[in-house]
């Protein structure tokens, strides 16, 4: 049971749906032009290595749109939030500060074209400070100093999903597909728990 605070990193990946079209391809060799996809959004705690929230959506749902559903599943304090540039924008930042408290450290890379806000000179936002650091020290240094490079751990977890659980959803309807992904989350969390080393105090 998590007690927090957690360091939350979020991302998404596409999962193919094994539906009628693919069944026709396999059985009758009929080429179906458009594959059907679902989008799996997950939140990983960098402290414990556990997936602490997940949501399945249609493939046209953007990552920021799915964010409220992920945050609504978290019942422990979040100390740090890390995500890619898709989440850069006032709606996501305002949501994070409202749901997680203003003290949460938000680490989202601004785009290369980003400029500081009008109040940056006398009251800079976190985003302003990130832009300034990137301009003076470079993006790679910023990634290291802020811990953004730890986001690669969720990409590793996505790769584990595709290898262990698989890149396709077997269920036909959306509700069952959602259940299928929840089971997949539990499987990966159990594997992470079993693989975590135990440290015992020497006698």
CATH number at residue 47: 3.30.420.10
In sequence order, what E strands does 28-68 have?
A: 37-45, 51-58
| Structural domain includes residue 140 | no
Amino acid 163: pLDDT: 94
pTM to 2 decimals?
0.85
| Structural domain includes residue 133 | no
Both tokens assigned to 179 = 């259940």
Amino acid 103: pLDDT: 81
Indicate whether 197 pLDDT > 60: no
| Structural domain includes residue 124 | no
Tell me the pLDDT tens digit for each residue of 5-49. Answer: 899 999 999 999 976 555 445 544 555 555 689 999 999 999 999
Cα–Cα dist 127/133, whole Å: 10
Give residue 186's domain range. 6-110+151-195
| Structural domain includes residue 13 | yes
- 74 and 54 in contact (C-beta within 8 Å)? no
| Structural domain includes residue 115 | no
User: What is the SS3 assignment for 57?
Assistant: strand
Number of domains making up the chain:
1
Tell me the pLDDT tens digit for each residue of 81-125. Answer: 999 999 998 999 999 989 988 789 999 999 999 999 999 999 999
Amino acid 192: pLDDT: 86
User: What is the SS3 assignment for 122?
Assistant: coil
Integer-rounded Cα Rg, in Å, for the chain is 20
Cα–Cα dist 98/67, whole Å: 13
């Amino acid at each position: 049971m998590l007690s927090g605070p957690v360091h939350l990193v979020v991302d998404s990946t596409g999962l193919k749906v094994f539906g009628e079209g693919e069944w026709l391809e396999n059985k009758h060799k009929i080429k179906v032009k458009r594959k059907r996809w679902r989008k799996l959004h997950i939140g990983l705690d960098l402290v414990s290595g556990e997936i602490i929230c997940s949501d399945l959506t249609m493939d046209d749902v953007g990552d920021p749109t799915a964010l409220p559903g992920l945050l609504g599943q978290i019942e422990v304090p979040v100390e740090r939030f890390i995500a890619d540039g898709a989440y850069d924008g006032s709606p996501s930042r305002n949501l994070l500060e409202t749901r997680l408290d203003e003290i949460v450290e938000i680490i989202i890379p601004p785009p290369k074209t980003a400029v500081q806000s009008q109040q940056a000179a006398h009251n800079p936002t976190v985003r302003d400070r990130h832009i300034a650091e990137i301009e003076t020290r470079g993006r790679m240094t910023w990634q290291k100093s802020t811990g953004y490079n730890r986001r690669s751990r969720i990409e590793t977890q996505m790769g584990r999903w595709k290898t262990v659980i698989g890149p396709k959803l077997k269920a036909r309807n959306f509700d069952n597909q959602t259940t299928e992904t929840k089971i997949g989350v539990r499987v990966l969390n159990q594997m992470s728990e079993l693989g975590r080393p135990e440290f015992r105090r020497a006698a």
